[in-house]
Structure 1
Amino acid sequence: MSAPVEHHELTPRRERTTLLALAAVQFTHILDFMIMMPLGAQLMRAFNLTPAQFTFLVFVYGGAPAVSGFLGGFVLDRFDRKRALLILYGGFAVATLACGIAPTHYTLIAARAAAGAFGGLSGSMVTAMVGDIIPPSRRGRAMSLVMAAFPMASVLGVPAGLFLAAHYGWHA
């Protein structure tokens, strides 16, 4: 059974603010996924990884949300979406921080899996929330704004992340 959806009219300013916040969630999740490949050489050196080990490190971030998304589909609709998103995004933030301070390859694998699981569920929650809170007449535009976070992560986030990594190390 799904949690009841409260449809309340948002002011234009509140709607914009909400959509930008949801886009920021998408941006960080996508950036976290995309930044791994360009950091490959640094990570392989830092952890003395083989190409196969690095490939697995990339895989776990994509594989974890496949599993968590399937399992989350059975339970997430039972909860208030805003609260669920805050909890999921908090888990994503903690897991991403754990990636940055991971002392070993195996710790990094576990942290990447957790970040992927929380990030994937957060992304699903974002799209559900847009459907819940934005009236159909504006939903396409709203979804476009939120989904624009994907290319923005690619063209702005990855270069910024690589700049930080070049100057402060991959942990940045």
Structure 2
Amino acid sequence: MNKLIVLFFLIMFVIGTDTFLISPLIPTLQTAFGVPTGIAGWMIGAYTLGSAVFALIAGPLSDGWDRKKVLLSGLVCFAISTCLCGFASSFWTMCLFRFLAGVSAAFTAPQVWASIPTLFPPAKIGKALGVAYAGLAVSQALGVPIGSMLAVGRWSLPFWTIGLFSLLLAAAACFVLPTMKPLEQPAAKPSLFKRYVPLLTSGKARGTYLAYFFVHLGSSAAFAFLGKWMTDRFHLSVDETGYVILFLGLGNVLGSLCSPYVLKALSQLQTMTIGMLVVIAAYMALPYVSSVLAVKAVYFLIFAVLGVLFPLMVGLLNSLNPTIRGTISSLATSTMNAATTFGAWSAGIVYSLFHGYTAVGLFAGISLACSLLVFIRSGALAKPQKHADPTPGRAT
């Protein structure tokens, strides 16, 4: 069991690192490819677009296939496409390889969340899910800064390193993971998209996913051009920007560790309302801080609060319909990546049109305010449950 926990942690770590890596590299890649600020965000958006679109297909398919084979295939393709990013010779080839990496991640990450309840006894499911989610948080705290430092020598090195490490993980998974065939083999397989009907016909589910979209839209827009802003405002190098991102990851880790205790002390509605208001105020104040130290402090606060809120959000998603776990996980992944795609694209346009980060911070604040309002109106927070399962990852 310990081998499985470590394997799932490392898989989420490499996927998280690859997802967030582009942000500190944007100034470097703009120079290398001669890309204007207005479209530079598509180097992030191409990855998340591929993941968003194909996660909708991967979820229903994986519910009827051997999850081990799906995970292995996705991880090998993820490794190859990420390595190819290091060989990109232009902006458009980089976008293509990032898109393929996103498609591969769409077939990999949801299998982690859906496999854990199958492979672990009930008493250990919460711990295993928490460790896997920590892989994402640690990827921000350590993976992205390490990637930034590697990029000082050559911008291609982080992509090659992630790709090769992912191949090693695929080899390990081949030996460690057991076969996970579907429990039922119906004579007539349901339509791929019929699995989404229970979610699409529920007003509560639609509202919860829309609110989840808005929170990722705002936070992704702010994060996408953090590296660009740090370079323009404080003249930081790519490795120095990586040190700033280290504080984001540390805040996220701290928040995720504190989340169960906060949810025991406060209701879901209180936690969501207070947390969102704090993050909204922080995002809107961020462009006006005058030092790198203050930026680190504000972003540490933002991601510590988000680290508390995200487990609550995925818990709400997971409670919508426990019988279609793979489909819920994939739709949540698709929602998150669609928001990240649109957020990165919007941030590039806003940053370019308004000549700076102030409008990006305002965009992030408005997006999170919309998320809070939709969460409340959806009814997902109508019944405070202090003892609800706060375990992250069940629906991402």
TMscore range, shorter length: 0.7 to 0.9
Aligned to 1:49: 35
Aligned to 1:103: 89
* Counterpart pick for 2:61 among 75, 80, 93: 75
Q: 2:59–2:110: 8 Å Cα contact kept in structure 1?
A: no
Aligned to 1:123: 109
Tell me: higher relative CO, structure 1 or 2? Use CA pairs within 8 A at least 6 residues apart.
1
The list of structure 1 runs, each at least 4 consecutive aligned residues, that deviate by more than 3 angstroms after superposition, is none
Distance 2:107 2:71 in 1: 8
Matched-pair identity in %: 27
Per the TM alignment, residue 65 of structure 1 is displaced from its structure 2 partner at its CA by 1.1
| Cα displacement string for residues 35-55 of structure 1 (whole angstroms, at most 9, x for unaligned residues) | 110001111001001112211
Per the TM alignment, residue 26 of structure 1 is displaced from its structure 2 partner at its CA by 0.6
Q: How many residues align?
A: 157
Per the TM alignment, residue 18 of structure 1 is displaced from its structure 2 partner at its CA by 1.0
Once the two structures are superposed, the pairs formed by residues 129-144 of structure 1 within 5 Å of their partners are 129-144=115-130
Relative to the length of structure 1, the TM-score reads 0.88
Secondary structure of the 1:74 match is: helix
Distance 2:29 2:54 in 1: 26
| Cα displacement string for residues 100-150 of structure 1 (whole angstroms, at most 9, x for unaligned residues) | 111121111110011111113211011111121011111001100111001
Find the structure with the greater CA-based Rg: 2
Once the two structures are superposed, the pairs formed by residues 13-92 of structure 1 within 5 Å of their partners are 15-92=1-78
Relative to the length of structure 2, the TM-score reads 0.39
Secondary structure of the 2:60 match is: coil
Aligned to 1:10: none
Distance 1:117 1:100 in 2: 17
Report the residue type matching 1:171 in the other structure: S
Secondary structure of the 2:141 match is: helix
Report the residue type matching 1:147 in the other structure: Y
Unaligned runs of 5+ in 2: 158-396
* Counterpart pick for 1:169 among 139, 146, 154: 154
| Cα displacement string for residues 66-123 of structure 1 (whole angstroms, at most 9, x for unaligned residues) | 1001111232222211121111000000010011111121111110011111113211
Secondary structure of the 1:101 match is: coil
Distance 1:55 1:136 in 2: 42
Report the residue type matching 2:154 in the other structure: G
Report the residue type matching 2:156 in the other structure: H
Q: 1:29–1:120: 8 Å Cα contact kept in structure 2?
A: no
Distance 1:92 1:79 in 2: 19
Unaligned runs of 5+ in 1: 1-14
Distance 1:127 1:75 in 2: 15
